[in-house]
Chains A and B, each alone.
Chain A
Amino acid sequence: MATIVIGGGVVGLSVAYGLLKRGKEVIVLDGADDDFRASRGNFGLVWVQGKGANAPHYATWSRRSAALWSSFAQDLHAETGVDVDYQNAGGVEYFTDEAALQKQVETLSRLRDALGGDYPFDVLDHAALQERVPEIGPKVVGGIYTNMDGHVNPLYLLRALSIAVRKAGGTITTGTHVVKVDAQDRDFTVLLEDGTRIAGDALVLAAGLGAMELAHSLGFEAPIRPQQGQVLITEKLPFFLKYPSGTLRQVNEGGVQIGASKAEVGFDDDEDISTSAALAQHAIDVFPHLGQVKLLRSWAALRIMSPDGLPIYQRSPTALGASFMTCHSGITLAAAHANLMPDWVLESNAAPDVSQFSESRFHV
Chain B
Amino acid sequence: MFRAMAGEDVKRPISFTFEGRTVAAAPGMSVAAALLAEGITAFRQTAVSQSERGPFCMMGTCYDCVVLINGETVQACMTPVREGLIVARVPIVTQAQAS
Q: Which residues of A contact B (CB under 8 A)?
A: 81-83, 85, 153, 156, 159, 235-239, 252-254, 292, 294
Contact between chains at A236 and B99 (CB < 8 Å): no
- B98 within 8 A of partner (CB): yes
The answer to whether B93 and A82 touch across the interface, beta carbons within 8 angstroms, is no
Please tell me if the beta carbons of A236 and B47 are within 8 angstroms of each other in the complex: yes
Summarize A's interface: helix, strand, loop or mixed: loop
Instruction: Give chain A residues whose Cβ lies under 8 Å from the Cβ of B93.
Output: 236-239, 254
Q: Which residues of B contact A237 (CB under 8 A)?
A: 91, 93
B14 to chain A, nearest CB (A): 25
Q: How far is the CA of A226 from the CA of B47 in the complex (A)?
A: 36
Whether the pair B95, A253 counts as a contact (CB closer than 8 A) is yes
- Cross-interface CB contact of A236 among B72, B95, B98, cutoff 8 Å: B95
Q: Contacts A236-B47, A253-B47, A292-B72; is A82 near B96 (CB within 8 Å)? A: no
- When each residue 65-92 of chain B gets 1 if its CB lies under 8 Å from chain A and 0 otherwise, what string results? 0000001110000000000000000011
State whether B98 touches A82 (Cβ < 8 A). Answer: yes
Q: How many B residues touch the partner, as a band?
A: 10 to 19
CA of A85 to CA of B97 in the docked complex: distance in angstroms?
10
**Which B residues, 21 to 70, have Cβ-Cβ distances below 8 Å to chain A?**
47
Q: Give the 3 A-B CB pairs with smallest separation, nearest first.
A: A252-B96, A236-B93, A254-B93
Please report the C-alpha to C-alpha distance between residue A253 and residue B96 in the assembled complex, in whole angstroms. Answer: 6
Q: Which residues of A contact B95 (CB under 8 A)?
A: 236, 252-254
Set of chain A residues within 8 Å of B99, measured between Cβ atoms = 81-83
Partner of B73, one of A82, A235, A239, A254: A235
Is A254 touching B98 in the complex (CB atoms < 8 A)? no
> Are A83 and B71 closer than 8 Å at their CB atoms?
no
A294 to B73, CA, bound (A): 7
| Residue in chain A with minimal CB distance to B70 | A292
Q: Given contacts A236-B47, A238-B91, A254-B47, are A83 and B72 in contact (CB under 8 A)?
A: no
Kindly identify which residue among A83, A85, A238 contacts B92, using a CB–CB cutoff of 8 Å: A238
Which residue on B lies nearest to A155, using beta carbons?
B98
Residues of B within 8 A of A254 (CB): 47, 93, 95
| Least Cβ–Cβ distance between B89 and chain A, in angstroms | 12
Whose C-beta in chain B lies nearest to the C-beta of A81?
B99
